[in-house]
């Protein structure tokens, strides 16, 4: 929270298109994860010339939609985004969540259209990188190219998680998801306890984990009975982080 509103979360968001809402690099929370991190000043200027900061996107607003022409990658400066597809029967299927510092749109590389809807889950600021210019720039900045290719890691990690998740029970999947949030530093830790304000709905989580909302709810209830978590709406508390880590890795 870099604004003057201390501690308080702004429930109401100002108009989405206000020109003064954009974030400068200096106030971007994703600096350490930025493709530009570590580049020379001159290289950074080249990157900076092609980027465009946008935001805030209010919850529910799309950053891009399926079938939109693919033209850019996006770095999330602040906020959370889900990507989802819609089946023929209208069912939404959540394919992933993206947090501060994550790069969005990689899934569309090699295609001329995006293949997901990308929807902000909370007030979200992004930085747009036109892809063709980025790819051209890569030729002159090998380090940048390398960085982009590194992002294959993210996709690989997702695949791995999904494939192995198929063999886990509902409760194990939930714990795995919670640990993912821990690693994303979304969790606020202190001592051995932690708490978390999840930006996505339980339904989104269930879809992402390949469960029905009812099954997720039951899994959360069981974990609560076991004393591993405390489940209060969008706030989830972790009375014993070590126990969770132990439970996942057993």
Partner DNA sequence: CGATCAATTGAGTGTGTTCAATGTCAGTGG
Partner DNA sequence: CCACTGACATTGAACACACTCAATTGATCG
Residue 107 touches a copy of itself, criterion: CB under 8 A: yes
Which of 225, 250 has the CB closer to a copy of itself? 250
By CB under 8 A, the residues from 191 to 250 that bind a copy of itself are 210
Contacting a copy of itself (CB under 8 A), which of 18, 40, 52, 159? 159
Which of 64, 238 has the CB closer to a copy of itself? 64
Q: What is the 3-state secondary structure (H, E, C) of the chain?
A: CCCCCCCCCCCCCCCCCCHHHCCCHHHCCCHHHCCCCCCCHHHHHHHHHHCEEEEEECCCCEEECCCCECCEEEEEEECCEEEEEECCCCCEEEEEEECCCCEECHHHCCCCECCCEEEECCCEEEEEEEHHHHHHHHHHCHHHHHHHHHCHHHHHHHHHHHHHHCCCCHHHHHHHHHHHHHHCCCCEEECCEEEEECCCCHHHHHHHHCCCHHHHHHHHHHHHHCCCCEEECCEEEECCHHHHHHHHCC
Which of 73, 121 has the CB closer to DNA? 121
Shortest separation between residue 223's beta carbon and DNA, angstroms = 11
Binds 11, which of DNA, a copy of itself, none (CB < 5 to 8 A, cut-off by type)?
DNA
Binds 45, which of a copy of itself, DNA, none (CB < 5 to 8 A, cut-off by type)?
none
Binding region for DNA (CB under 7 A): 11, 169-171, 201-203, 210-221, 231, 233-234
Binding region for a copy of itself (CB under 8 A): 93, 95, 106-107, 109-111, 115, 135-136, 138-140, 142, 145-146, 148-153, 155-156, 158-160, 162-164, 166-167, 210
């Amino acid at each position: 929270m870099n604004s003057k509103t201390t501690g308080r979360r702004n429930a109401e968001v100002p108009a989405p298109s206000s020109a003064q809402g954009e974030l400068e690099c200096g106030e971007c929370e994703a600096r350490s994860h930025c493709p530009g991190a570590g580049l020379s000043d001159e290289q950074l200027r080249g990157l900076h010339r092609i980027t465009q900061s946008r935001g805030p996107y209010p919850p529910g607003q799309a950053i891009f939609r399926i079938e939109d022409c693919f033209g850019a990658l996006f770095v999330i400066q602040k906020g959370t985004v889900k990507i989802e597809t819609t089946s023929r029967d209208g069912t939404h299927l959540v394919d992933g969540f993206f947090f501060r510092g994550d790069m969005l749109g990689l899934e569309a590389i090699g295609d001329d259209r995006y293949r997901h809807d990308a929807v902000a889950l909370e007030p979200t600021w992004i930085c747009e990188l036109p892809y063709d210019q980025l790819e051209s720039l890569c030729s002159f900045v090998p380090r940048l190219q390398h960085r982009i290719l590194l992002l294959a890691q993210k996709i690989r990690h997702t695949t791995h998680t999904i494939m192995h998740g198929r063999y886990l029970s509902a409760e194990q999947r939930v714990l795995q998801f919670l640990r993912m949030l821990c690693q994303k530093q979304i969790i606020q830790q202190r001592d051995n306890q932690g708490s978390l304000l999840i930006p996505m709905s339980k339904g989104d989580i269930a879809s992402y984990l390949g469960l029905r909302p009812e099954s997720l709810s039951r899994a959360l209830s069981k974990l609560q009975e076991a004393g591993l978590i405390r489940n209060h709406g969008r706030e989830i508390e972790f009375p014993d982080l070590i126990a969770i880590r132990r439970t996942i890795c057993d």
